[in-house]
Structure 1
């Protein structure tokens, strides 16, 4: 079996069986491609079936010189998944990554913004420019609904169920969920739709896309990152933030106001509650409140 053939089969498996997005598939594939390049550079004629744990250990040892522990851990995880697929398909009898341990890395807690900081950033949006109303509506939606940036730029007008108080969000792996949307966020979206979006020359194929650029096409993720970074610099915010910071803040503020983890998990679209539990580490005071409120010996 050749590497390119194995990689193509693996990519189909990730897409069809696992339902992963193109972006996730690219990330998994990148780890395998790094191993392939290493073998080519070393003139090692080893197939995905014959490669040994020792060769992979040497590969990891060599790349470890140039990357941090978190990146090493991701590559090991990606390769473990690839060879796990080969074992699953009976191409191999063992996973050569099975006994290779990932480096110890500390759990990275997400940055969050206070309610005041979020208000300051949104207030800094220049509403005298046509894109101002759009940018305010986007930031209110990021924070008000806890969306990923990819979910924001892909949001459709047909996904808005304002009468019912929800929006339909398409998340990772094309999984859909309904997220509550408060009246104030609905108001800013409606202002943008009525006064800005209605006057754009919308390009074919983007008639249903909610947030558009000046050329009438879907906004890119990079553009949303740029808008957030620019506003943070404008207000002199020292924290390093991104669109994802609004999502983290959404979850943290809900937790601080006594929302339960299961509800937060559903709204964020986390497959596992363990992913959502990171917010407990951000605000441990929530645990104290729970004990004080519910323990019989409080």
Structure 2
């Protein structure tokens, strides 16, 4: 059994090493050459990951990488992070704008023998690029903690998936605290926003199902990593009429639990890509 503390230490050391700007050395030390990278359906391999991330440094001369939160269990660790800075050089084809942009994401890594051997990630890269052109605000969040048992968290995860797959919106809402806060790119929102968004998704995708990929628990934190599949045969979705197209996307959601209910949420998905697939 892998120790959760050493797993956390490996992931934190790797991500914080981005601030040293020597990713060749960091990848050599912390990322297995046999890495299985599930990003972009597995087509984004270790070499591509290294190459793309190295372009961050010349593009953001004051680049910083901050670990915001970590949840670990045995060999798996979820890391919620924030990276970015002032856009002073070309990035992803966008000329230097002088704007400040930050990307918040969540990664789940499996660690063995002190190195990352498997990697998943959930981030809004499209939103990050929009900040460079439109100046969209970057999200922030709280890190308050309250102790909850691992068994309670796992039961809550199972109940969340059961109710979501039954499209039981009222009972899903009841799993959340009345003062539930979701930290979204547009700012902090509450339970009524959650009801509206989830209800609209169920109405647009009547056959939508959520399949767990990884569940990680630690203290009062619960990481829900899952794949959503659905066919757009119902109501309009973000103004797009139903055309029978299927969507398939993964999400990594970090939830803080208090008194047995969801109290706080962090998580993003590439909404632009999902909507693009429906048009």
TM above 0.5, yes or no, is no
State the TM-score, normalized to the length of structure 1. 0.28
State the TM-score, normalized to the length of structure 2. 0.29
Going by fraction, where is strand more abundant, 1 or 2? 2
Going by fraction, where is helix more abundant, 1 or 2? 1
